[in-house]
Chain A
Amino acid sequence: MFNINYTFHWNQAFRALPDMLEGALITLQIAVLSMLIGIVVGVLLALAKEARFAPLRWFANTWIEIARNTPALFQVYMIYFGIPAVLQLAASLFGIDFRALGINIFYLDSYWAVLVGIAFNNAGYLAETFRGGLRAVPPTQTRAARSLGFNAVDSFRLIVLPQMFRAVFHPMTNQMVWAILMTSIGIFVGLNTDLTGITQELNARTFRTFEFFALAAAIYYVIAKIVTGGARLIAWRLFRY
């Protein structure tokens, strides 16, 4: 039923602002960490997808396909419920006593589930982005590096990667914003310390649904804008050539 007598009470919402900003910090932390992991794994997946060793290609393909073509929420679920299930299976198959190792296999912390889930998603998307970026670096650059005596790893790290990052900086920024917004699905695995989690708890306590979620949305918006603006500044500093 519509509550037509709903009146706005912004004071209450604004009093909760410090708590919500604290939540925003957790949100940002998850997003940044999941991006860092996503970038490293994304580069490895992009390389694996071109590998000569077929199983490596299959592995990368599977990862990228799942990350890009299933809901991010399911990916977080799969990690939240899937990892304990796999561990239990391992325990029963191989007779490993996780409890003796101090690991509670029936429970995965929701913070880590969200972080790992979003990192999984980021890595899949970024891998495809990076593959495109690598193609934008002419093979002559590797040739020039190798002929100066750089080994394969250094040629890639010092010559190819920096040029690739320039080519993909804009889509990478988009992925970062996307990661920030994705953290809100943590609510489905009981994450209550991030911006959405805190907002939901305040809502449950006060029923000022509109005020709290409007304020949260505004905070998400500002963070996203700061990230995009910051990225533009970094790009300007980094890619002067």
Chain B
Amino acid sequence: MIEIEDVRKSFGSLEVLKGVSMTVETGEVVSVVGGSGSGKSTMLMCINGLEPIDSGRILVDGTEVHAPGTDLNKLRRNIGIVFQQWNAFPHLTVLENTTLALRKVLGKSKDEADAIAVKQLEHVGLGDKLKVYPSKLSGGQQQRMAIARALAMEPKYMLFDEVTSALDPQLVGEVLDTMRMLAKAGMTMIVVTHEMAFAREVSNRVAFFKDGLIHEIGPPAQIFESPERPETAAFLKSVL
């Protein structure tokens, strides 16, 4: 379970998160939608401790992320995250990209790591690209590789930050399919996305983010069909 409690965060004088609270239950898929610059990416980076926070707290399975004694490297093994772009390590092949953390972080042998990586890469349809460098992959393939690489660590949670936003339209489907598969398999996910149809289809709940606050959170039917807040309605009208 991920518990976000009244989190505030500023970059200099710009307050980006203004008291965000949200709980994500194990097995749940929560989509986060909202305008550009509203603080969605920042929130994800706070969850795995890539960004510090100013006040409030975030608990992952009861461990306070920003407490001084927390072993963030250990915590992060449980939280896979895929960014909008530049996920791939360009100097490593697809297989090496996927095995590096298995070997250096989890201490697995080369054979063990290879076996895990090949399984994950085949799962996302990259079984024939093992020896290829990322520069030879399409954007969609790179994103699927990033997903496989994160999954290889067997995380309990997966965070997605607009993973299809930088893709050509014809490549979006293959990445969404991969995430759909994952949601069906019961992975706990937080999905920041602009793909409203996808959010509606896979999410248990949808959170609407605006100006550093969650204005409304609820089942997709509520958010998309009868939003309680006028801001939510206005946002949906602008994107649908």
Interface residue ranges, A against B (CB under 8 Å) = 138, 140-141, 143-151, 154, 158-159, 162-163, 166, 239-241
- For the complex with contacts A147-B81, A149-B74, 11 further pairs of A-B residues with Cβ separation under 8 Å are A143-B45, A143-B83, A144-B146, A147-B48, A148-B100, A158-B100, A162-B91, A240-B133, A241-B91, A241-B133, A241-B135
Q: If A149-B74, A240-B133, A241-B133 touch, does A166 touch B91 (CB 8 Å cutoff)?
A: yes
As a 0/1 sequence over residues 52 to 81 of chain B, the CB contacts with chain A under 8 angstroms (1 = contact) are 000000000000000000000110110111
How large, as a class, is the contact surface on chain B? 20 to 34
Q: How many A-B Cβ pairs are below 8 Å?
A: 61
Among residues 63 to 111 in chain B, which have CB atoms less than 8 Å away from a CB atom of chain A?
A: 73-74, 76-77, 79-81, 83, 85-87, 89-92, 100-101, 104-106
Q: Check B76 against A147 for contact (C-beta < 8 Å).
A: yes
Q: Check A150 against B133 for contact (C-beta < 8 Å).
A: no
Q: Check A149 against B76 for contact (C-beta < 8 Å).
A: yes
Looking across the interface, which residue of chain A has its beta carbon closest to that of B149? A148
Most central of B50, B101, B150 by chain A CB within 10 Å: B101
Find chain A residues with CB under 8 A from B77 CB. 149
The reply on B212 being an interface residue by CB < 8 A is no
CA distance in complex: A241, B74 (Å): 31
11 A-B residue contacts at CB 8 Å? A143-B83, A147-B76, A148-B153, A149-B73, A149-B76, A149-B153, A159-B89, A163-B91, A241-B91, A241-B134, A241-B135
Q: Check A148 against B83 for contact (C-beta < 8 Å).
A: no
Q: If A158-B100, A163-B91 touch, does A148 touch B86 (CB 8 Å cutoff)?
A: no
Q: If A144-B89, A241-B90 touch, does A151 touch B100 (CB 8 Å cutoff)?
A: no
Find chain B residues with CB under 8 A from A147 CB. 48, 50, 76, 79-81
Find chain B residues with CB under 8 A from A240 CB. 133
Find chain A residues with CB under 8 A from B79 CB. 147
Looking across the interface, which residue of chain B has its beta carbon closest to that of A161? B91
Looking across the interface, which residue of chain A has its beta carbon closest to that of B101? A148
Looking across the interface, which residue of chain A has its beta carbon closest to that of B106? A149
